[in-house]
Amino acid sequence: MKKLRLWGGLLALFLSGVLMGAVGTRVIFDRWGMNMLEGPRPPMQRLILKRLDRELNLDEEQERRIEEILRQGHREMIELRRKHEPEIKAVLHRGINAMKSVLSLQQQEKLDAFVERERARRAKRERSLREDRSREREP
């Protein structure tokens, strides 16, 4: 019985580590990563193009064509993210519920507050990005 409890505890510890890593990665990506992927001409595209130009000594035509390829890739990445958003949310929801099973009531409440703050922060950031894009489309 002691071995079973030990293995159960180790498994719970491992799974909570995996879930915390997933949540942490998501928070970090939401905070900084999407700023690089979304927007009129994301900094990530600029950085990639600059590095390619430096490494490959691109001429103007190559630079123009590669920039369009990067833009298309960017659009596809955003679409892929949106397409898989429900699955990502489901994984995060399951992870949060699993974490709650090892937390005290007080810790569960703090976790709920933390998750809500992060959701609000993300919603605010997405609203800001949408407003920026709509302003760019105006003549």
- The pLDDT tens digits for 49-82 are 999 999 999 999 999 999 999 888 888 888 888 8
Residue 32 lies in a domain: no
Does residue 65 lie in a domain region?
yes
Task: State in Å, rounded, how far the first CA of the chain is from the last one.
Answer: 72
Does residue 61 fall inside a structural domain?
yes
Mean pLDDT score across all residues of the chain: 81
Integer CA distances (angstroms), 51 to 39, 42, 44, 65, 101, in order: 20, 15, 11, 15, 47
Q: For residue 55, what are the domain limits?
A: 39-85
What pLDDT is recorded for position 64? 93
**Model pLDDT, residue 110:** 92
Domain contains 10: no
Considering the chain, what percentage of its residues have pLDDT values greater than 90?
A: 24
Structure tokens at 80: 């892929």
Q: Is residue 100 part of a domain?
A: no
Nearest to 113 by CA among 90, 96, 89: 96
19 assigned to some structural domain: no
Residue 59: inside a domain: yes
Q: How high is the pLDDT of residue 1?
A: 72
Cβ neighbors of 12 (< 8 A, separation 6 or more) are: 102
The string of DSSP letters for 75-115 reads HHHHHHHHHHHHHHHHHHHHHHHHHHTTS-HHHHHHHHHHH
3 falls within a domain: no
Q: Distances from the Cα of 101 to the Cαs of 14, 18, 40, 114, in angstroms?
A: 14, 15, 42, 16
Number of structural domains in the chain: 1
CB 45 within 8 A of CB 70: yes
